[in-house]
Amino acid sequence: MGNCFYRVDSSFSLDKNESQISFDYPWNYSYDENNSLEDYSMLDSAAPCHSCNLLDDSSLPFFILASVLGVLASGAVLFALLRPLFHWQLCPGWPILAQLAVGSALFSIVVPILAPGINSAHSTSLCRLGYWVWYSSAFAQALLIGCHACLGPKLGAGQTLGLTIGLTVGLWGVAALLGLPITFASDTFYGFCTLASRRGLGPLQSTHAAACFATFTLLPLGLLVTKGLKKALGRGPDPRLNILWVWFIFWWPHGVVLGFDSLVRSRVLLLPSCLAQQILDLMLHVAEALAMLHCVAAPLLLAVFYHQSTHTSLPSLPLPARGSSHLDTFGGKS
C-alpha cells in the first residue's frame, strides 16, 4: 500500500512586502516559514520533505475489507446479545457489552466514508460526519471498557437499570463532545478526507490530539496504575483486568503518535531531520491502520469475554440448566 506520488496545488499567495510564499498541501511536511522566494527554483521544491502516503488509493481494499468484516462480526455479536437463545444475559454487565458492539458497528459503517479512492462520496459534510462517528464511537468504547473494569461487580448485581441508563447517556454524551474538534477540523483535499490545513484550526487539532492521548493512552495506564496501587495497599476493589483491555492495544499507539505529532506541529518539539519527519508520518498511518482493525477484533474480544465469564460463573451447569436459571432470574424480577 502507498506510494510517494502527490499532486501539488499550484495556487499560492505571495506577500510582496516579505517576499514569502505559502502553500497548502494535503500531507504532512516540515518547512521553514522564513524561506525566501529565491530559495525555491521550482514550485514542487517548496515542500522539500515529502512523505510516502501509506493509506492512499491503493489501500481502498483494506478499508473495504475491514468495514465488511467489522459490520458482520459486530452484527453477529449484537444478534447473540439480543437473542435469549444464546443466554448472553447471564454475562455480568451485558448491556455495556452490547454498547461496545454498537460502537464497533458504527465505526465499521463509516470506514468507507473515510476511505481514499471513493472521490464521489467525499463531500465536506460527509467527511466531517464520518470523522465524528469514527472517533465518537472509539471514545465511547474506551470509556465503556474503563467503566466496565471499575463497575463490573455493580453491573452484575441485578438492579442496575438506572445505573446502566445513566452510564449510557453520560458516556456517549462525553464521547460525542470529544469527537467535535476533529469534526470541525476535517475537510476534503483532492478526494481525500483528512485534517484541514487552513490557519486558525490549530487549536481544534491540538484539542483532538489531547483527547486521543488522554482517552487511548492515559486511561488504560491510569487503570493499570490504580489496580497496582489498590492491590498493593489492599484498599477497596481494584479495576478488573480482562480480555476487553486488549482493545487498547489497537488504539494506544494512535494516541501516542498523534500526541507527538501535535507537539511537532505546534513547534514545541523540533525534528532533527527530514527522515525523522518521514518516520513520524509513516507511524501516523501505521497507527491509524492498526486502530481501524479494532472493528474486527472488538467483537471477537466480546465473544471471548462472554465465554470466559459464563464458564467461570456457571462451570457445572449444562445448557438447559443455564436456560432455566436464566428464566428464573427474569421470573424473579417480574
Q: Is the pLDDT of residue 3 over 80?
A: no
φ, ψ of residue 304 in degrees (nearest 5): -65, -40
The residue extents of the domains of the chain are 58-311
58-311 maps to which CATH number? Answer: 1.20.1070.10
Residue-level length of the chain: 334
Considering only CA atoms, which of 88, 55, 45, 19 is closest in space to residue 193?
55
**What pLDDT sits at residue 159?**
52
**What pLDDT sits at residue 153?**
58
- Mean pLDDT, residues 239-266: 90
**What pLDDT sits at residue 321?**
44
Q: What is the pLDDT of residues 119-163, one digit of tens each?
A: 545 578 888 898 999 999 999 999 999 988 887 656 654 556 676
Please give the C-alpha separations between residue 259 and each of 210, 292, 328, in angstroms, as whole numbers. Answer: 6, 18, 50
CA–CA gap between residue 227 and residue 229 (Å, rounded): 6
pLDDT band at 283 (very low <50, low <70, confident <90, very high): very high
The more confident residue out of 180 and 125 is 180
- Mean pLDDT, residues 7-27: 37
Largest CA distance in the chain: 84
**What pLDDT sits at residue 220?**
92
224, 249 contact by CB (below 8 A): no
pLDDT, averaged across the chain: 75
Q: What is the DSSP letter of 86?
A: G
pLDDT band at 95 (very low <50, low <70, confident <90, very high): confident
Q: Is the pLDDT of residue 22 over 50?
A: no
Lowest mean pLDDT among 4-18, 83-97, 135-149: 4-18
pTM score, two decimals? 0.77
**What pLDDT sits at residue 84?**
59
H or E element that contains 81: helix 60-82
51, 28 contact by CB (below 8 A): yes
